[in-house]
């Protein structure tokens, strides 16, 4: 349910060599805690499997866009996968390079395209004919040629939550497989576009390799058709989406996944093409926990509630996806303690959907700390200020060192850009 960077030492949860109790006391709660060692290990699992092959790794910024997290990957030589102009700005501020950045996303604005072209991004993953037309016009105005890859929707079932499945006919993403050949011919005819690759992304939190292989086979069939038409593609982007263990999932080991995909591409006779991987969750998900403190225990007629100071605005995944996150006391109960009770762990936000975990067996008292595991992906990145709640602080642990990588917001900041009507 989390990486080995988070472990109990003498009954107290530690992030690497730092006590979670001391982190909560020093920086308050709710608090996001990341492990540099866990980030680095996950990166090397991908990079080592790619070594010696024409394969590169582009970190999906949307999973965790903290500058320090991105900087850890930039120092390791990562490329990046972005879905907005704001994410491009973050990558550059974190030390990433535009020429190693792929710009994905279904609704790119003209100004975002312009900024990305000026910066010199590696490729635009384009998802529709209207987007091709817009990018061609923006590139023409700048006197440039935009490198493009079409995101093809292979109609493959990733067997994941419907909100994070992206490769079916019913999803908003990508060019329909049956229309992709014509779309490539349209792109090749546009004077300010340079067709350089093909892309797909079938979903998120995928725990089997088979859907990837199905998608790769369909992509390669299309690549071969296009090559016969005279359109040669230099790279194949297989997207991201590899899952992690939140509860009892058993996703494939990262290295085995990468090698299996590359071997399929090579077996089909396409080993000369560069392969892009775009992992997000599998890099950062289990490299982070969220610490929260119990405010009240509230018994009820049908349920007992542990009311904590973190809420759905801090971690949206349970409310949005009914997602499971393991929740455990930061300090383990000593032998002979009072028996555990069964609680719904809920926050103070004024919504019935404000919960972090349901029916959890916990030995806990008011004032005690809980750790919400597997919170490094789509945790802080999806947080909000709902109920005028300042967003949490973020810290990164590096051995026995702690770095504040985002200070906690203050209430006054939340309305500093608002005004009231004049008298």
Spell out the SS3 assignment of the chain: CCCCCEEEECCEEEECCEEHHHHHHHHCCCEEEEEHHHHHHHHHHHHHHHCCCCEEEEEEHHHCCCHHHHHHHHHCCCEEEECCHHHHHHHHHCCCCHHHEEECCCCCCHHHHHHHHHHCCCEEEECCHHHHHHHHHHHHHHCCCEEEEEEEECCCCCCCCHHHECCCCCCCCCEEHHHHHHHHHHHHCCCCEEEEEEECCCECCECCCHHHHHHHHHHHHHHHHHHHCCCCCCEEECCCCECCCCCCCCCCCHHHHHHHHHHHHHHCCCCCCEEEECCCHHHHHHHEEEEEEEEEEECCCCCCEEEECCCCCCCCHHHHHCCCCCEEECECCCCCCCCCEEEEEECCCCCCCCEEEEEEEECCCCCCEEEECCCCCCCHHHCCCCCCCCCCEEEEEECCEEEEEECCCCHHHHCCCCCCCCC
pTM for this one? 0.95
Catalytic residue among 50, 123, 200, 350: 350
Contact status, residue 33 vs residue 288, Cβ threshold 8 Å: yes
What's residue 113's pLDDT? 98
Angle formed by the axes of helices 67-75 and 36-50, nearest 10°:
40
What's residue 268's pLDDT? 96
Contact status, residue 286 vs residue 2, Cβ threshold 8 Å: yes
Name 291's bridge partners: 31, 371
d(CA 193, CA 22) in angstroms, rounded, equals 54
Contacts of 167 (CB under 8 A, 6+ apart): 153, 154, 155, 156, 157, 158, 173, 174, 200, 201, 202, 203, 211, 215
Domain 36-283 has CATH 3.20.20.10: yes
What's residue 154's pLDDT? 87
Provide the 10 A C-beta neighbour count for residue 108.
22
How confident is the prediction along the chain (423 residues), in pLDDT tens digits per residue?
556 899 999 999 999 999 999 999 999 999 999 999 999 999 999 999 999 999 999 999 999 999 999 999 999 999 999 999 999 999 999 999 999 999 999 999 999 999 999 999 999 999 999 999 999 999 999 999 999 999 999 888 665 545 444 444 556 678 999 999 999 999 999 999 999 999 999 988 999 999 999 999 999 999 999 999 999 999 999 999 999 999 999 999 999 999 999 999 999 999 999 999 999 999 999 999 999 999 999 998 899 999 999 999 999 999 999 999 999 999 998 887 778 999 999 999 999 999 999 999 999 999 999 999 999 999 999 999 999 999 999 999 999 999 999 999 999 999 999 999 999
d(CA 191, CA 52) in angstroms, rounded, equals 35
d(CA 29, CA 202) in angstroms, rounded, equals 36
Six-digit token pair at 98? Answer: 């535009």
Start-end of CATH 2.40.37.10 domains in the chain: 6-34+285-414
Six-digit token pair at 207? Answer: 């725990």
Catalytic (active site) residue 350: yes
d(CA 406, CA 94) in angstroms, rounded, equals 13
Instruction: Please state which CATH class domain 6-34+285-414 belongs to.
Output: mainly beta
d(CA 274, CA 255) in angstroms, rounded, equals 17
d(CA 174, CA 125) in angstroms, rounded, equals 9
- Omega of the bond leading into 30 within 30 degrees of 0 (cis): yes
Start-end of CATH 3.20.20.10 domains in the chain: 36-283
What's residue 129's pLDDT? 95
Smallest Cα–Cα separation from 242: which of 276, 209, 216? 209
b/e map of 209-238 (b: 16 or more CB within 10 Å)? Answer: bebbbbbbebbbebbeebeeeebebbbbbb
What's residue 171's pLDDT? 63
């Amino acid at each position: 349910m989390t990486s080995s960077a988070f472990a109990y030492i003498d009954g107290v949860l530690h992030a690497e060599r730092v006590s979670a109790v001391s982190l909560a006391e020093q920086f308050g709660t709710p608090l996001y805690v990341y492990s540099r060692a866990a980030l680095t290990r996950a990166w090397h699992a991908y990079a080592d499997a790619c070594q010696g092959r024409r394969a590169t790794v582009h970190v999906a910024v949307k999973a965790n866009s903290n500058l320090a997290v991105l900087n850890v990957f930039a120092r390791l030589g990562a490329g990046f996968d972005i879905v907005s102009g704001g994410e491009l700005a973050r990558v550059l501020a974190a030390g990433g390079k535009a020429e190693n950045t792929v710009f994905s996303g279904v609704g790119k604005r003209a100004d975002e395209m312009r900024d990305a072209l000026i910066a010199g991004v590696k490729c635009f993953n384009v998802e529709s004919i209207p987007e091709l037309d817009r990018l061609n016009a923006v590139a023409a105005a700048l006197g440039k040629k935009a490198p493009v890859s079409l995101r093809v929707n292979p109609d493959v079932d990733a067997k994941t939550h419907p909100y994070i499945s992206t490769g079916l006919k019913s999803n908003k993403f990508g060019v329909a497989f049956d229309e992709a050949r014509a779309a490539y011919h349209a792109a090749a005819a546009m004077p300010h576009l340079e067709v350089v690759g093909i892309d797909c992304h079938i979903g998120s939190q995928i725990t089997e390799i088979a859907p990837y292989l199905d998608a790769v086979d369909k992509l390669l069939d299309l690549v071969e058709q296009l090559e016969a038409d005279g359109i040669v593609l230099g790279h194949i982007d297989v997207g991201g989406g590899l899952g992690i263990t939140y509860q009892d999932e058993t996703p494939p080991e990262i290295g085995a996944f990468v090698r299996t995909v590359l071997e399929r591409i090579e077996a089909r006779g396409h080993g000369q093409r560069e392969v892009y991987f775009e992992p997000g969750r599998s890099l950062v998900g289990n490299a982070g926990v969220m610490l929260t403190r119990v405010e009240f225990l509230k018994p009820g007629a049908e349920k007992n509630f542990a009311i904590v100071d973190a809420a759905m605005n801090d971690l949206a995944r349970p409310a949005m996806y009914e997602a499971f996150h393991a929740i455990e006391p930061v300090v383990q109960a000593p032998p002979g303690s009072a028996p555990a009770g069964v609680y719904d762990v809920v926050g103070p936000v004024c919504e019935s959907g404000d919960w972090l975990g349901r029916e959890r067996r916990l030995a806990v008292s008011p004032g005690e700390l809980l750790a919400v595991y597997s919170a490094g992906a789509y945790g802080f990145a999806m947080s909000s200020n709902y109920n005028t709640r300042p967003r949490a602080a973020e810290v990164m642990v590096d051995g026995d060192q702690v770095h504040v990588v985002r200070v906690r917001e203050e209430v006054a900041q939340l309305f500093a850009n608002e005004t009231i009507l004049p008298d």
